[in-house]
Chain A
């Protein structure tokens, strides 16, 4: 574990840029932290913190000088690997059918996979990428766009030293400190005399970049302080989700009365699925130009909260809001485990913050657990 000064972040960005990476990081824009291209450390949201609670998100100019003093951006990293709109192919209609061309150029189609360095991935979001890997890099079918983009990523994690108002990564075992899966991990340490970072590499690629930086060995008390910050962060998290037997409980209780109660509040607006870093569902559409001859086949983010999502001739399989909310939560916290061996929720809290009516997945899961009808094995 080494220590770098705050000013070294610029060298870090330059080291990545000189290797051909486009550096993507947090920046404050229109009242929110977004993830976009950053050129230098001054693009980071210095001194800005975020306040999050159910249905509330607000930026504040903090009285600190931290670059990563906010907790979590509403924008997750999935959009770089699974673009909200992706052109699958282009075709022209011919007299007998169609021909795939991929020739016309539309300026607004997403870019090709390219070398991207993510600066400031939170530990929960790092786990979200691991979960998406299992979805899109499966042994039977892989998504070639995802694969090509994933192989060109450089991941810089910034561990959390402060819990957000809706976080529960501690319950999901994903944070507040990342264990593996990154190229470089940073921990930003707040000191009166000026913030600094602890830095560690998690891959050969990361070590190679790190060697270029002006750094010194971290003092034992600095490492201890980071460990303490991690423990404090976990302890201060306002939410917990009891995961013991949760998979079985959710699968076995589709008629629990609580589903009706939450359905009475849910607007089925799909906000939760859009902000969730692991929701991966998509639909496909043909977009035709005015001549009707040129067709673009696009894949778009979709949500299990829409009626169309489960439509088959004769009606939707999940016609009621109850069944759609239930599908979402049951997928995240139950069937995901069957499908991919892990929960589909990383505890980032975004769905709680961005739900317009403040529905809280931890509260709902907890309510189903009370009075559930599942026979649990004795410990």
Chain B
């Protein structure tokens, strides 16, 4: 036999699709479980898995489920290209490959006692959702909790039911805005960064967790700084091409950082110099 005989960290484990739900026109959520249905895959909010579609490819996707329910792996994915379009056609019972969980996590456990501000752009809500779950399941340990979420249009809003449910809570502030909207929309219109100046958190104690396109994160940081947040209280989740997830393929390098291993969640302090440069 001419193939590797040793267990290789690049060999995925099979997981079975339990359900696939269309969230929006181009975004869907898959729920996976181990083949025997009972194994757990514990993870921390902010971590990601490498999802493998046989014969097609493997991609990094954040875990968007509840960390307290590690038997079910939840991934919310936007179809944009080869692998994600193939994933969208999965059906209950299908088997895909999973490697992970990889990467750093949102500092939820470190920031108890603080106000927490989540700022999400588009699909960026998915990697933040496990942190929301964590905070909400220990709600009494945190100060004010604010979610600011922006999408392109009302039709692109993810987890709509859940957002409505969260918005009804008295211990949570949820603000949603869309870039553009037609008449039935009564909510905010404009970019998510516009929401920051008015939102009710104490900049002296607040910690911000930000996930979205890189430009959105850059502008979000500026607004948060204007409100008085210090760099070490701002956390971002970075995105880079990834082929291994384990610091060996070199693809995800961002200056000295391997985003797969040293990130994807970074304190802004750590990456601010890199973000100030182009094409790094």
Chain A interface size range:
35 or more
A309 touches B247 (CB 8 A): no
The distance in angstroms between the C-alpha atoms of A371 and B213, with both chains bound, is 35
A96 touches B8 (CB 8 A): no
Binds B, one of A106-114, A166-174, A186-194: A106-114
Is residue B224 contacting chain A, with contact meaning CB distance below 8 A? no
A110: chain B residues at CB < 8 Å are: 2
Question: Of B57, B93, B251, B280, which one neighbours A302 at CB under 8 angstroms?
Answer: B251
A109 touches B2 (CB 8 A): yes
For B54, B243, B244, which residue has the most chain A Cβ atoms within 10 angstroms?
B54
**Chain A nearest Cβ from B14, distance in angstroms:** 7
Chain A, Cβ-Cβ closest to B262: A339
Binds A, one of B176-184, B185-193, B253-261: B253-261
Q: With A288-B55, A320-B279 known to touch, is A102 a contact of B3 (CB < 8 Å)? A: yes
Per-residue A-contact encoding for B1-44, CB less than 8 Å = 1, 0 else: 11111111111001010000000000000000000000000000
B contact patch SS: loop
B11 touches A339 (CB 8 A): no
Question: Of B239, B244, B250, which one neighbours A312 at CB under 8 angstroms?
Answer: B239
Question: Of B2, B14, B240, which one neighbours A310 at CB under 8 angstroms?
Answer: B240
Per-residue A-contact encoding for B48-61, CB less than 8 Å = 1, 0 else: 00000011111000
Number of interface residues of B (CB under 8 A): 45
Chain B, Cβ-Cβ closest to A288: B55
A contact patch SS: mixed
List 5 additional contacts besides A282-B244, A295-B54; criterion CB under 8 Å: A96-B93, A98-B95, A140-B247, A282-B243, A304-B250
15 residue pairs bridging A and B, Cβ less than 8 Å apart: A89-B4, A89-B10, A90-B3, A98-B95, A107-B2, A140-B246, A141-B248, A255-B277, A280-B248, A283-B251, A288-B55, A299-B10, A310-B240, A334-B256, A335-B255
Give A residues with C-beta under 8 Å from B.
86-91, 93-94, 96-100, 102-103, 105-107, 109-112, 135-136, 138, 140-145, 148, 251, 254-255, 280-284, 286, 288, 292, 295, 297, 299, 302, 304, 309-313, 317-320, 322-323, 326-327, 330-331, 334-335, 338-339
